[in-house]
Amino acid sequence: MAEGQRSINLKINSMSDLSAFFLPLIQSPEFREVLKSTFLQALEEKNPTIPAPVFYTQTETSGILHCSIPSLIDYRHRGWIKGRKVGNRVLFTTEDINEAVKTIAEAKYKKV
């Protein structure tokens, strides 16, 4: 038997014997805490939290890329950066910006 485990030999004659043994155990605060933490851990493993995407405006994105807003608009029209149109605004995700850094660098210095 592993260290820290105990063996219990019970002779159970009826359901009342069974409930008399387990009821105090189930009602204890320690048991509830262990059960709660185990349940939450299992839930977290099954459904990991997915971070919400962060959206940047054209002004913020042009600051991150160190370019002007007209250049950013040109990059979007050329397909070098993806933008999402939300109403009258164009928003960019962190993923869009990271991909654009690679694409713009390759496209700017590409020999024709």
Q: What is the pLDDT of residues 47-63, one digit of tens each?
A: 767 777 789 999 999 99
Q: How far apart are CA 31 and CA 52, in angstroms?
A: 35
User: Residue 105 carries which side chain, given as an amino acid letter?
Assistant: A
Q: What is the pLDDT of residues 1-35, one digit of tens each?
A: 556 666 666 666 777 777 777 777 778 888 888 88
Q: How far apart are CA 107 and CA 112, in angstroms?
A: 10
| Confidence (pLDDT) at 34 | 86
pLDDT averaged over the chain? 83
Name the pTM for this structure: 0.52
Question: Which of the four pLDDT bands, split at 50, 70 and 90, describes residue 71?
Answer: very high
